[in-house]
Amino acid sequence: QVQLVESGGGSVEAGGSLTLSCAASGDTDRIYCMGWFRQAPGKEREGVARINIGGGDPYYIDSVKGRSTISHDSAENTLYLRMTSLKPEDTAMYYCAAEPVAAMCSMDRDISKYNYWGQGTRVTVSS
C-alpha cells in the first residue's frame, strides 16, 4: 500500500504562484509514476501533469504547460507541482496520484485512474 498526503494549496490572486507537495509513504519502491489531477466544482476530473519516477520527460496538459513544473524528490519521497501565473480557471481540488503498473503510466492513461490517491488540497484563484 501507498499513502499520499498533499499540502500547499491555498487562496491566491490571479498571477500568483503556489507549490503543491505530495508526501508518499508505505511501499514507495513500487511506484512507477506519479501525477496530479484536479477537479473543479461541476466539472470532470482533469489530469494536469505526470512524471515517471525513473526519469523521462514529464507530461503537462496544454492549459498549464509553460506555467507549471512537476518534480519528484526521491530522497524525500515527495512529489511537487509548482504553478505560476495562476488563473481563475485553475481553481479546483488538486489530487496527487501514484501508480505501480508501468502500462498505466503511458500518455493515454487517465491520471485519475491511478491506483493510489491522496485526500486533495484546494486551490482557489481569485480574479
Amino acid 108: pLDDT: 80
Average pLDDT for 51-68:
93
The model's pLDDT over 66-105, given as tens digits with 9 standing for 90+, comes to 999 999 999 999 999 999 999 999 999 999 999 999 888 8
Q: What are phi and psi of 50, to 5 degrees?
A: -145, 160
Closest Cα to residue 117, out of 93, 94, 92, 97?
Answer: 97
Whether residue 24 contacts residue 72, with contact meaning beta carbons closer than 8 Å, is answered with: no
